[in-house]
Structure 1
């Protein structure tokens, strides 16, 4: 084992923080690995000892974000809460999601950067590769934090349809895409300066969703 490289990688936290900001501000394509290493004070030799390339670092950041988000949700929402009606659960998830973004601004900035790239060819290829490579890791995370799978919103909507909570004339695939879009763009929909305002904002949004989706 190269003890010098292992010792130098005590700066891993600095690398993660700097990389999160670089990717968050510039997106994947424009982010500079040289800038990241320079700001983190890490040599290329040390970096390539631990990572294959920029893409490998990016995927590691995705791992961190997903685990931190699931961990946070699990501390705020009990598994029994998912047995409530779909609109109550959505309200909880929106509130918790906004809290998470508020508490973790660098993670939120990173997440917003890849949301902006959603639908592009490069994004689709990168995400496909990520989920293929990390399938076992992600399955382990969902089991660890009490989720059925990564698509917990899709599972929630499926359950709501089965229980007759959502209008039958609305295509299920359309509703799932709509809810996912709203959750990905909460920051553009809900503007709040403090944690105490998130619950009120979540109420407004879910009332709007309920009026459009709920079965009479």
Structure 2
């Protein structure tokens, strides 16, 4: 893998979003213990982001995608220096082979070190949610709540085909003993989101592979934003 910096990772992801008509704001990066670096941004359809940044906040009623890129910094360093580079940090010592038989030819040396295919360089997490106003305007209607959950699940299934993990989150204020579709309860969704995760393997991941993963993530964000819009548009029809 060619040397990749954290700045390049963030730039590649933002470029993938721009290529699909999504603009990003509220860019933020930081570290989590012990060796985790993250980059976050909120993505909107670019035309709607232009409205937002013009100051016309009251005119903006659009779904958004919270994008989080999480990188294992130890894995990133290992990807850059490779196994041979890692060897410069280690001291070799002779380790006897327990399967050697006296009087017989010595067995072949132990296999060389290689990157574990299950180790992740990082992940891209995407949470797509409607604006709070759309939830505030909804009536507390059990049948409409059930229909909303069904439509969100369909969007998640369709868009989630390009992701490694997909989840639907629906939160509401429930009275004791109540349920989501209980006709005796008044439940209004207080939080709605569709969550996607895209894995970034450590082994065999270079700039081209990163660009392909970020492209899939950007496709998912764009399609989920439009899916969220269609779900709530249908909710008012």
TM > 0.5 between the two? no
The normalised TM-score by structure 2 is 0.26
State the TM-score, normalized to the length of structure 1.
Answer: 0.28
